[in-house]
Structure 1
Amino acid sequence: MAGAPESGNSGDQTLPLRPIPDGLSSSAPKSAKRPPNARDITAEFTQAASALNTGQLVKDDFFTLFEAVGALEIMDPKMDSGYLAPGEMLEDDYDVLRELLPEEVIGIMDQMLCYEMAWHMGHPLSQTLFTSLHIDRLLWPAPVKLKEARFYRRPPEVGTNRFLHTVLRAYCLATIKTCDFVNRRISAEHYNEEEDFVSNLYNRKLLTQFSRTEIEEILTKAIAWVTGQKKIVAKDVKTALLSRLNFRKWFMAAVAFGDDVDDLDSPSMWQQCAKLLPLLLESRAVGTEVADAFSAKIQRRLASTVPPRPIVNITFEEAHSHLSRLCEDGKGAYEILDYHGGNNMLTFLWTFQSRNPQPSIYIRCLLQSLMSNETKVLNVMSVRQLVFDDLAEMVAPAHILIDPSNDYVEAPKAPGFQIMKRMEIFVSRAAQSYLDIFRAICMNRERTRRMLCHMIVDWDNIQLDAEELDTELRRYTDEEPIHDPNSGEDLWSFPLSSWAYYHKLHQMEWIVQLGFELDIYQIEELAGMYWYLNHIAQTRLQHLQRIRTFTTRRFSRLTNPTSETKAAFKRSLSFLDFAMLETSATQSFADALACLFAALPPLSLLPPTPAYPYSTPSLRYSLRMRPFLPISLPALPTFAEYSCLIPSASVETPSDLLDEAELALKRARKEWEAVSKVGPETGRCVGCEEGWRKGVKDVLRGCIAGSIAVGAVRRAAGRGRER
C-alpha cells in the first residue's frame, strides 16, 4: 500500500505499528495532495463492475467478516488496539524491577484492592486487575512452577529490593489465587455472563494449578520478614503492610474453593477479614500512589476480540465499602446451613436477598453452592428428603406417602412398594423444579422475575402430573373423601397436586410483587395489578383453608397417635395457620392499594393516561399478563371479566373507594401486627429473624403511610368540591 510504513526485521515477531500520519495530527486540515505514485482506477473499476449482475455479491473466501470489520477499525483509536498516537510508545516505560519504597508497596496494594473490587462489581479483568504490570509479569509467560511466577526474568543482583520481591510478590500471588477461587466458585453456579460478572480470563491462568497452601507459605514468609524489620520500616508503615498481608491471607482462605474446603470454618475466616478492614482504611494515608504501575496498554497482549477500553477506577472508600458488605454477607450466608425446613430456607433467601444493596454475585453463587452441591442439599441431605420434608410440613404430616419404611418393602404387590414407586416418579419430576425456586431467588431481581415467569409454566404441568399420581395413590392409602352437601360431590385431598398448586400460586404472587419493586407497571396499571395480587392471594388463602380442612380431619381420625405423629401434625398446622395469616394480610394490603389507586384518576390526582394510538386496552392487558396466559389454574380472567372485577370509579364513587381502602388498611395493619408477634419457629425465619422482622415492620409502615395517603386524598377531594 502506498505510504505504508516499512516493516522491520523479518525475524522480529513484533507486528509493525501504524503511527498516525503527521498530516492527520494537526487540528487544522491541510490541503489534499495526490501522492506521486497514485493512479486513477475509476474507469477500470467501472468497467469491471459492469460485468456483474445486479445484486451479485463478490466475496473472497479468505476475506471474512472479521477481516472486513478489522479493516474498518484500522486507525480508529476506539477500536484499533495497535493504534499509536504521535509520540506514544507501544510498551510502557515503567520498570517493574525498580526499587520500591514500602509506602509505594502499600499504594500498589491498595490500588490492586480497588481493581479487585471493581471486578467483583461486574467489570472485566482487562479493565481492572490485568492492567497491573506486576500481575502481568507474574502471569505471562504462564509459570509451570510457582517459583517461576516472579517479576524478573534473570536472577536478580545482590541487594534485591525485598519489599518488591518478597512483600509485593506474595501479595500479588495471593490476590491472583483469590481471584481464581472467586472465578471458579461463580463459574460453577448459575449466573448471567457480562450482566452480573465477567469470567473471561483472556488466555491467562490464575495460578489454578497451585494449591492455597503453597501461596500461604509465601505469604507467611513475607509476614515474618516484615515483622522482623524493626529499624528499616516505620511503625505505621509496618502496621499497614502487616494488616494488608494478613487480610489477604484470611480473604484467600475465606473464598477458598475445592474439595478440601470445610464450609464450617469459613464464617470465622470472614469474621477475621472484617476485623482487619478498619486497619486498611485507617492506614490508607500511609501509602503512596504509583499510577505508572498500571496501564491499559496491557490489553493489547490479552487474547480478546473486544476493542481497548479504559481502566475502571473506583475510590478506595468505594472498594472498602463493597468489601465490608462482602465480608458481612459472606459470614451471614452460612446461616443457611442451619436447616429448619424448605419454607424456612425460602424465607432466609428472600430476607437475605432483600438487603440493600443486594449481595454481590459472589455471595449469591456462594448461597447456591451451600444450598445444593451435586446430589446433596446443605451438604447433609438428599433432594428427595428436602421434598419429603416440605410435603410433611405442608400437606402430608405423618403420611404413609412419605413413610421411610416404604423404602424397605420389596414385595411388588405390597402397598408400600407401589407408593414408593410412584413417589419416586413424583420426586424425579418435581425435585429439580423445587430446587430451581431457590436458585431463582439467588439471581438479581430482574432475572429472578424472568425465571419465575418461565417456572410457573413448569409447575402448572407438575400439578397436572401430580393429579394423576394422586388418583393412582388412593388405591394404596385408603383415603376417605369428604362429602360436600352443597355440590353432592366427594372431595379428595390430592396431597401432591395441592403441594404443587401452592408453590405455583406463591410464585405467581412473587412475580406480581417483583413487578412493583422493579417499576415495571405504568401508573394507570397499578390499580389493576394490585387487584390481581389480591386475587392470587385470595386464591392461595382458599387453597390453604382447603389443605387445613383435610389435615385436621385426618388427625381427628387417628387412633392413639404417637408423640412423633402429634409433633408432625402440630408443625404442619402451625405452618398452615401462619401461612393463612400472612396471605390474608397480603390480600388486605393489596385490596386497599387497588381501591386507593382506583380513586385517584377521577380526582385528577394522577398524571393523565397517555395516548396509545397503536394499541388497545385489551391488547395491553394481554401483553401485561403474558406470563400467566399459559396457566390452567387459576385461569387468567378475560379482559372483559378483568374490567368488571377491578375497582373502578365508573362503578363506585371515589369516596366509596376510599372508604373501602381505609377499611382494608385497618384490616391489613391488624393482620401484619399479628404476623410481627409470632416466634421465629412459627414464622419460619430461624437464622434471619432480624431481617425478617425488619421487613414486616416496613410493611406495617406501608400500611400507616397508606392510611395517611387516604386522608390526604380525602382532603384534596374536599377542596376540589369546594372549588
Structure 2
Amino acid sequence: MDAAVPAGDQTIWLDASSFLSSVCNELSVGELVHGENFRLFEAMSALEIMDPKMDAGMATTGFKTFEEAIESGAAPIELTIPQLVDVFDHILACEATWQNGHALAQTVFSCLYLLNVDRTAPNALLHAFCKTTRASCSMIRTAIALADIHEQEEDFITMAYGLPVEGEGDSRCLALLNTVEEVVARQLRGCKGGLSTKKKSLEDAEPLQDDPALEEGYCHAILCRLRFRKALYHILTYMDKPQGRGLEMARKHILVALSELQNIRSSSAFLSFGQAPDSVVESKERGSTASGRVAIGFDECVNRRLLAPTPPRSISILSWEDTLAYFEKLLQDLDRICSLPMTLGLEEILQFVMDYQKLKPDLFARARLQLLLLHDGKLLGRDPLAIALVKVFNVPQSVMANDHQTQAFTTQAARVTKQLLKIMCTNTAWQRRKLGRILQDWGNLLQQSKVTRDVSIEGSQLGDEVIQTENMLTAWVAEQTCWVVRQFLMLGFQLDLYSLSEFCMVYWYLDHVLLSALHYKLAKESQTTPAIDSPDSVKKKGKKKKGSAALKQPKTPKDGKFMYSVHLLQCYSDLCKGFIWMLTALTRDRKLLHRETIFNTEQERFFQRFDLLHKLMIPAPMSYFHYKDSTSQMHISVKELYQLSYDHFMAVQQHLQELGASAAKASELSAVSRTQLALEVKQMEQVSLRNRVALQIVHQVGPGDNLRVSFEFSQHPCFPVAVVKKS
C-alpha cells in the first residue's frame, strides 16, 4: 500500500486491522453499521456485499472474449481420447442443464468448441459431435418456441443473445456422424476379434490411443456416446413430422437411445478407474463427467458480455448421474407421446393430457405433445377443432348446414377448447393460474349455448332434432366447465396452496363441482338438459343419508368409457364427503387444531378461494352460508359424524371395484391413461383404508383432546392420510 499510494507530508499509514476487528466483534448479529450518511433508507438500498448473485456481474475470472480463450490455448483441437470423452460428457450435462431452464450462454455455449465449430474440423470425432449437438439444440429451441407453453425466464430461455445456434452445413451433421461412427465401430470390432483381425483392423484405421489394453474400453465409450447423439437427433427429426407420421420410427430410435444410455452408464466404471483424488478431479456427487475429471474447453464467463444487463444467474451444471437420469426420463416421456394412438377423439385426448401431466414431464416433452396435438391448429394435425367438436356433439348434418347459430357456437367452442389444450401442457403452477383465467371464457360459452338454443328453437323448422342438438351442446359445455373447475381446485392441493383450516371448505366445494359434473354428464348422455339456472338441480351437502348418495343411472346400457368416467367421479365425490365429515368431527372433538389467523376470518377466506367460481352459472355458485349450513349439523353427534365419514370411505372401495371393471371395457383409453388409472386406484385404496383405520382409533379413544390428528399427502396428491398421535 505504501508503494501504491505514498503518504503525504502530514499523513502516515497505520495498520487498522486490530481496530476494525474489535469494532466488528462489538456488532451483534443483524445489527447495521450506523453513520451520518448511512440511515435506514441507505441500508435498504445497499447491495449485499459478497452475495454471489449480486456480485456475479463483477466476476473477473475466466476469459472476456472467445478470441482471448483460444489464444491462451484453453480449447486445444488435439485432444487425447480421455479428454475427448470428458468434453462429450460435459456437453451432455450442459445440454440437460439448459433444458432445465438456464441460459444457452451459460450452459451449452460455455463450450468453446461450439462457439466456432469450423475450428474443430481437424478433429473428426469432435467436429461431428459438436455439429450434431448444435443442430439438436436448434431443433429443441425451435420446438419450445413454437409450442409457446413456457414462461420466459422461469421455464426456459429462448433468447440466443447472438450465439451461433444455427450454422451452415448442420443439415449434413448426420453424414459426418455416420462416418466417424463407422471408423470407431471398425476399430472396436478389431479389438474384439482375434490377432489376425486386429492386425487387419490396425492396417485400416489408426488406434484411438497408444495403450492397446485400453483401446477396447475407449472405443466402446466413444461409440456409445456417438450413437446416443445420433439416436437423439433421429428422434427430434422424426417427431417433427406432421400428423404423427414419424412417431413409429421415433419410438425405434428411443429404444436405441435408451440402450446406448445404459452403455454410457456402464462405461463410467472404466473411465473413472484409477483416477487420483487430486484438485483436478471433481467429487462423484457433483462431477459432470463419467471420469470425474474437469472437462477442458469450457468457460462459463466467456459469453457474459452477450447476456442481458441484469446480473447473470448463478448456476450449477447437473452432475453426471443427474444428467443420465434426466435424459432417461426425457426419453421415456417422449416414448409415451409416440405411443399416443392417432385415432383418439377429443375427450380421450383431454384424458391423456391430464394423465400425462401426472408424470411431471419436462418442458421439451410437453412442448412436443402440444405440437403433436395442435399441429397447424388442427387436432392431431388432421381435422380442425370445430370438426372434431361436431363429432363429439354428434350433430346431424342437416342442423349444421342450416343452423347458423350452431355453427357460430361450434367455432367459439373450438377456440376455447384449443386454448384449454394448450394450457394443459404448461407447468402445474401456470396451468392453475391460466385455468382460472379461462373460466370466464367457459362461462361466456355456456351463456352463448343458452342463447343459441333459444334462438334456434324459435326460428328453426327442424323441430325435435334442433332441440335435441342444442340440449346436447349445453350439457357438453356445462360438463366441460365443471371439468375445468375441478382441475382448478385439485391443482391447489398439488401446489400446497390450501391450509389445513381450508381443507373442509375446499372438499365441500369440490364435491359440489363433482356432483354437478356427474349431473350434466348423465344429461349429455341422455341428450336432455335440466334447468341449468337453478342451483337446486344439484343436491345440497348435508341433506344426504349415511353412505354414498344413490345416483340415478341411465336406463340404457352404456359403454365402458362412459361408465368409467361416472365411477371415477363417484370415487372422488365419496372421498370428498369422507373428508368433509371427518374434518368436521375432528374439529368438534378438539383433536384437530387450527391456527387462528388475525388477518382474515373463515368467511373471508371462503370468499377469497371461491370468488372466481361465483362468477360462473355452472357449477351453481355456493355461498359461505350454504357451507356452514351443510357442515354444522349440530343435531348429529361426533360419533355419528365419524361413522358417516367411515361409510363414505367404505363406499369408495366399492366404487373402485366398479371403476376397474368399467375401465377394462373402455377400449378407447390410451396406455398412459390405463397405467395412471391403475396407480390412482391403488392410491385411493390406500387413502380410504388408512383413513378408516384412523377413524376407528379416534372413535375408540372417545371425545377430548387426548389425541392429535394431522394430515399428510403421502399416498395421493389431492387426498391426504390422517396421522394420529398422542397429544
With normalisation by structure 1, the TM-score equals 0.75
Partner of 2:608: 623
Q: Report if aligned partners of 1:493, 1:547 keep a CA contact under 8 Å in 2.
A: no
Partner of 1:132: 111
Q: How does 1:676-695 map to 2 (within 5 A)?
A: 676-680=660-664, 682=666, 684-688=668-672, 689-695=674-680
In structure 2, distance between residues paired with 1:671 and 1:185: 42
- 2:444 is aligned, of 461, 468, 478, to 461
Instruction: For 2:649, give the aligned amino acid.
Output: L
Distance 1:238 1:601, change over 3 A: same
Instruction: For 1:592, give the aligned amino acid.
Output: G
Partner of 2:340: 336
Partner of 1:325: 329
In structure 2, distance between residues paired with 1:269 and 1:448: 31
Partner of 2:96: 117
Q: How does 1:379-528 map to 2 (within 5 A)?
A: 379-392=381-394, 401-403=395-397, 406=398, 417-419=401-403, 421-474=404-457, 475-479=460-464, 494-528=471-505
Q: How does 1:34-45 map to 2 (within 5 A)?
A: none
> Are residue 282 (structure 1) and residue 266 (structure 2) matched?
yes
- 2:156 is aligned, of 166, 179, 197, to 197
Worse-matched range after superposition: 630-639 or 202-211: 202-211
State the 1:720 CA deviation. 5.7
Distance 1:621 1:137, change over 3 A: same
State the 1:27 CA deviation. 8.3
Distance 1:623 1:195, change over 3 A: same
Distance 1:345 1:237, change over 3 A: same
- 2:576 is aligned, of 590, 604, 607, to 590
Q: Secondary structure at the match of 1:298?
A: coil
Partner of 1:169: 127
Q: Secondary structure at the match of 1:255?
A: helix
In structure 1, distance between residues paired with 2:55 and 2:529: 73
In structure 1, distance between residues paired with 2:670 and 2:613: 33
In structure 2, distance between residues paired with 1:76 and 1:609: 36
Distance 1:674 1:293, change over 3 A: same
In structure 1, distance between residues paired with 2:599 and 2:229: 59
In structure 1, distance between residues paired with 2:602 and 2:48: 47
Q: Report if aligned partners of 2:83, 2:295 keep a CA contact under 8 Å in 1.
A: no
Distance 1:87 1:387, change over 3 A: closer
Q: Secondary structure at the match of 2:116?
A: helix
Q: Secondary structure at the match of 2:119?
A: coil
Partner of 1:108: 87
Distance 1:523 1:258, change over 3 A: closer
Partner of 2:76: 97
Q: How does 1:548-697 map to 2 (within 5 A)?
A: 548-550=525-527, 575-610=561-596, 612-645=597-630, 647-648=631-632, 650=634, 652-680=636-664, 682=666, 684-688=668-672, 689-697=674-682
Instruction: For 2:259, give the aligned amino acid.
Output: K
Q: Report if aligned partners of 1:75, 1:83 keep a CA contact under 8 Å in 2.
A: no
State the 1:604 CA deviation. 2.9
In structure 2, distance between residues paired with 1:127 and 1:386: 44
State the 1:269 CA deviation. 1.7
- 2:216 is aligned, of 193, 214, 235, to 235
- 1:250 is aligned, of 225, 231, 242, to 231
In structure 1, distance between residues paired with 2:308 and 2:382: 42
In structure 2, distance between residues paired with 1:716 and 1:388: 58
Partner of 2:28: none
State the 1:209 CA deviation. 5.2
C-alpha offsets along residues 296-318 of structure 1, whole Å, 9 cap, x if unaligned?
22133424323244452221111
Partner of 1:13: none
- 1:540 is aligned, of 508, 517, 521, to 517
Q: Secondary structure at the match of 2:671?
A: coil
Worse-matched range after superposition: 633-642 or 87-96: 87-96
Instruction: For 2:585, give the aligned amino acid.
Output: A
> Are residue 313 (structure 1) and residue 296 (structure 2) matched?
no
State the 1:493 CA deviation. 6.5
In structure 1, distance between residues paired with 2:307 and 2:334: 32
With normalisation by structure 2, the TM-score equals 0.75
State the 1:183 CA deviation. 0.5
> Are residue 150 (structure 1) and residue 119 (structure 2) matched?
yes
Q: Report if aligned partners of 1:680, 1:686 keep a CA contact under 8 Å in 2.
A: no
Instruction: For 1:664, give the aligned amino acid.
Output: H
Distance 1:99 1:311, change over 3 A: farther
Q: Secondary structure at the match of 2:666?
A: coil
In structure 2, distance between residues paired with 1:528 and 1:77: 44
In structure 1, distance between residues paired with 2:488 and 2:4: 60
State the 1:660 CA deviation. 0.8
State the 1:454 CA deviation. 1.5
Q: Report if aligned partners of 1:106, 1:241 keep a CA contact under 8 Å in 2.
A: yes
Q: Report if aligned partners of 1:80, 1:308 keep a CA contact under 8 Å in 2.
A: no
Unaligned runs of 5+ in 2: 6-12, 21-44, 191-201, 209-214, 272-290, 531-554, 708-726
Give the CA RMSD over aligned residues: 3.6
- 1:376 is aligned, of 354, 375, 378, to 378
In structure 1, distance between residues paired with 2:17 and 2:87: 37
Distance 1:311 1:132, change over 3 A: farther
Q: Percent identity?
A: 21
C-alpha offsets along residues 512-533 of structure 1, whole Å, 9 cap, x if unaligned?
1111222211101111111111
State the 1:360 CA deviation. 0.5
Q: Report if aligned partners of 2:589, 2:704 keep a CA contact under 8 Å in 1.
A: no
Q: Report if aligned partners of 1:296, 1:310 keep a CA contact under 8 Å in 2.
A: no
C-alpha offsets along residues 379-423 of structure 1, whole Å, 9 cap, x if unaligned?
22221221122223xxxxxxxx343xx4xxxxxxxx66323x333
Q: Secondary structure at the match of 2:691?
A: helix
In structure 2, distance between residues paired with 1:513 and 1:75: 42
- 1:365 is aligned, of 364, 367, 381, to 367
Unaligned runs of 5+ in 1: 6-22, 31-68, 139-148, 153-159, 393-400, 407-414, 483-490, 554-568
In structure 1, distance between residues paired with 2:376 and 2:138: 21
In structure 2, distance between residues paired with 1:76 and 1:619: 40
In structure 2, distance between residues paired with 1:588 and 1:580: 12
